[in-house]
Amino acid sequence: MAKMNKIIVVNKESGMTSRDVVNKLNKILGTKKIGHTGTLDPIASGVLVICVGKYTKLVDEIVSLDKEYIATVKLGILTDTLDIEGNIIDKKEYDVSIEQLKEVFKSFIGSYLQEVPKYSAVKINGKKLYEYARENIDIELPKREVSIYELELLDFNKDSFKFRTRVSKGTYIRSLINDICSKLNTYGVMTDLIRTKQGKFSINESYTLKDIENNNYKSLDIEDVLDLKVLDITDDNIKLVMNGNKLNLDLDNGDYLVKVNNQVEAIYTFTNKEGKIKIKF
């Protein structure tokens, strides 16, 4: 039987949810132990990193990586979902120049408190925000600190523009667009979104579900994904690792991929020569 511990960089099609991708891969790969590493809205396409088998334990590590997107915006309208697929709830005149747009982009570089969109899966009191929205229940939307590292204008027309951005975990591009347009004294909604990178994972090295179904893809191993020092364990320390116990070794501080008999068994974090287990596979 083929090894089922792997990481696959999927190029998600628009029109399907991230959960849809996982469900299809359950059938294609013949396993239910699959997790994705960062939801993409149905309207969005691009990089969706999938962890299979024991590598599902890496989901949180990969979710925390920076992400790069290319987004397209239509000016002058506001929808309840902040994208073109929602219901139009307001319209506003606009007169935006390239110079204004570039200045506003500069103002967003750095960190700021971003309001989570009401059509999102964030939970408040055990209930998802989109569930409140669908029931027309008003609830205070939470704000989260996000970081915008890069914002580059790619195309500009009288009523639309396209940009590339690199952002931190938890950034909603729909909300970023809404905030940008607010500074431009108008409205704007997302009409297209492509996730081009997540950490070192690139859309140029991703595979469609059809590719995977036809076995026309390459999966990644943990050493391809995490740029960590490797620690080969022998003798008395093997039992400590297999039981998830501490290690006392004269090593530099940091995270290590720990191998036993050439198999990755854990990730340990070393501080002042003491290693504590971070992930046990």
Q: What is the pLDDT of residues 205-230, one digit of tens each?
A: 999 999 999 999 999 988 888 888 99
- Predicted local confidence at residue 234, as pLDDT: 84
Q: Does 93 share its domain with 174?
A: yes
- Predicted local confidence at residue 1, as pLDDT: 36
Q: Does 103 share its domain with 135?
A: yes
The token pair at 11 is: 């190029």
pLDDT digits (tens, 9 = 90+) for 169-210: 999 999 999 999 999 999 999 999 999 999 999 999 999 999
DSSP string, 49-106: EEEEGGGGGGHHHHHTS-EEEEEEEEESEEETTSBTTS-EEEE------HHHHHHHHH
Domain membership flag for residue 128 = yes
As a whole number of Å, the end-to-end CA separation of the chain is: 19
Q: Does 242 share its domain with 174?
A: no
Q: Does 26 share its domain with 123?
A: no
Domain membership flag for residue 217 = yes
Q: Does 39 share its domain with 78?
A: no
CATH of the domain at 173: 3.30.2350.10
When pLDDT is cut at 50, 70 and 90, the band that residue 121 belongs to is: confident
Q: Does 93 share its domain with 185?
A: yes
Q: Does 186 share its domain with 210?
A: no
When pLDDT is cut at 50, 70 and 90, the band that residue 2 belongs to is: very low
**224, amino acid identity:** D
- Predicted local confidence at residue 3, as pLDDT: 61
CATH of the domain at 265: 2.30.130.10
Q: Does 71 share its domain with 173?
A: yes
Domain membership flag for residue 84 = yes
Q: Does 74 share its domain with 148?
A: yes
Q: Residue 33 is part of which domain span?
A: 6-65+200-223
Is pTM beyond 0.85? Reply is: yes
Last residue of a domain, one of 174, 191, 208: 191
> Active-site residue 138, yes or no?
no
Catalytically annotated residue among 41, 83, 179, 255: 41
**Is 1 or 17 the better-scoring residue by pLDDT?**
17
Domain membership flag for residue 211 = yes
Which residues have a Cβ under 8 Å from the Cβ of 126 and sit 6 or more positions away?
none
Q: Does 87 share its domain with 143?
A: yes
Domain membership flag for residue 1 = no
Cα separation, 43 vs 13, in Å, equals: 9
74-101: b or e for each residue (b if 16 or more CB lie within 10 Å)? bbbbbbebbbbebeeeeeeebebeeeeb
- Predicted local confidence at residue 155, as pLDDT: 97
Percentage helix, strand, coil, to 5, in the chain?
25, 40, 35
Residue 39 has pLDDT above 90, yes or no: no
Tokens 């008003």 sit on residue: 138
Q: Does 88 share its domain with 144?
A: yes
pLDDT digits (tens, 9 = 90+) for 47-105: 999 999 999 999 988 988 999 999 999 999 999 999 999 999 999 999 999 999 999 99
Q: Does 180 share its domain with 125?
A: yes
Domains in the chain, number: 3
Q: What is the mean pLDDT of residues 140-149?
A: 94
Domain membership flag for residue 55 = yes
